[in-house]
Amino acid sequence: MSATEQQLAACVPFKIAVPDETLSEIRRRVSDFPWHEMPDDGGWSYGTNLAYMKDLCAYWLDAFDWRKQEAALNRFSHFTAPIDGIDMHFLHEKGSGANPTPLLISHGWPGSIAEFMDIVEPLAHPERHGGSIEDAFDVIAPSLPGFGYSGRPPRPIGPRRMASILNKLMTDVLGYRSYIAQGGDWGGAISSWLGFDHASACKAIHINILTMRHAAGPQTDEERAWEAEFERDQIMQNGYRTQQATRPQTLSYAMMDSPVGIAAWLVEKFNAWSDTDGDDIESVYSKDELLTNIMIYVTTRTFNTASWIYYGRREEGGRVLTADNRRVEVPTACALFPAEMLAWPPRSYVERLYNVRQWTEMPRGGHFAALEQPELLVEDIRRFARGLKR
């Protein structure tokens, strides 16, 4: 048996199946949460809205059907495979037609593979959704190391190390000679490192966030103005990021014991980072969508190790791509959603970081593009892939 055949044989079919006992314990903890100890909080202004959390948790207890969401996740083919000592979980939906393009899509924090439930089918089978079969992709969507259904690294690792693991998934395990990578949030950083470190296999990337930075910094008045505004905008966002990049373990002692605590920590980000109508989080997301993502963190008990990626990125050197200002040379598509919480810099700045081949300024949407605007994201990925074939 060849090395490739041995790797493929190591892929084990996987099905999400949370024990009834786990669901009962979660319900008990949500039901027992001491709401009477929580003071009125003045809306969303200094944290997750108390009234909304009470409403969400009442729905969690009375109406949310995890088994229905579990079945929706399981309608796709899931596998695990050992890579660098980690049992990596991934969804693998083979595309229609004779020659679908391999597409690796990566989530971030506080997300999960649940973000992709509305884009996997249209990407893999466009002919079922009014598109052309020529645009089909083999879609591979892993749970990042330490997140969800993947195993835990022995200590924190960052997006560059994760990119190496995901490249091995695509090449050594699944046997693809080349592929495209797509991502938002940490998936954008991982895709960037795939294009930079693994260009022999990762032939192009599509990102809907700009996480990387120049060692030399802004070069024009427009770029310097963007940087100053960016830093002002991030003042009220940096608390969670600093905590998770420096002392994630301390936070996790409380969170691992409280489903409501995890829910509040994640929901606040979905409200703040999305293209909502004011503070109406349900103008974008249903309670089922929010709770499905939350339940992946709670049922797998991975809040702790999922937060490690911030610590790992700090150890890897932070946001700077390279000290000598080299760029990602593989063709790159940039999808700019207007409510992205990490505001995009001018294109001149981005082009010193990436070989930009496609630049799309979207009419709506925010940080969680696959959940917020799946149709816009799918069409932009398709258009980019078409251009690569010309």
Q: Summarize pLDDT for 54-67 with one digit per residue, the tens.
A: 999 999 999 999 99
Domains and CATH numbers, the chain: 3-389 (3.40.50.1820)
- Among the listed residues 67, 63, 62, 2, the one whose alpha carbon sits nearest the alpha carbon of residue 31: 62
In angstroms, how far apart are the furthest CA atoms of the chain? 64
Paired with 277 in beta bridges are 280
Of the listed 149, 310, 349, 354, which one is catalytic? 310
Of the listed 92, 107, 214, 367, which one is catalytic? 367
- Mean pLDDT value of segment 33-51: 86
176 catalytic residue (yes or no)? no
Give yes or no for a contact between 26 and 259, defined as CB atoms under 8 angstroms apart.
yes
149 catalytic residue (yes or no)? no
84 catalytic residue (yes or no)? no
Whether the predicted pLDDT of 68 surpasses 80: yes
- The length of the chain is 390
Q: What is the pTM of this model?
A: 0.95
Percent of the chain at pLDDT > 70 equals 97
Residue 229 is encoded by which pair of tokens?
A: 């505004």
- Mean pLDDT value of segment 65-71: 98
Describe the strand order of the beta sheet including 78-83 as a list of residue ranges: 12-14, 78-83, 86-93, 137-142, 101-106, 179-183, 202-207, 328-336, 354-361
* pLDDT in the model for residue 187: 98
* pLDDT in the model for residue 295: 98
Whether the predicted pLDDT of 1 surpasses 80: no
Of the listed 135, 172, 185, 380, which one is catalytic? 185
Whether the predicted pLDDT of 5 surpasses 70: no
Whether the predicted pLDDT of 9 surpasses 70: no
Please state, rounded to an integer, the average pLDDT across all residues of the chain. 94
* pLDDT in the model for residue 4: 45
Tokens 């610590």 appear where? 311
Q: What is the pLDDT of residues 195-231, one digit of tens each?
A: 999 999 999 999 999 999 999 999 999 999 999 998 9
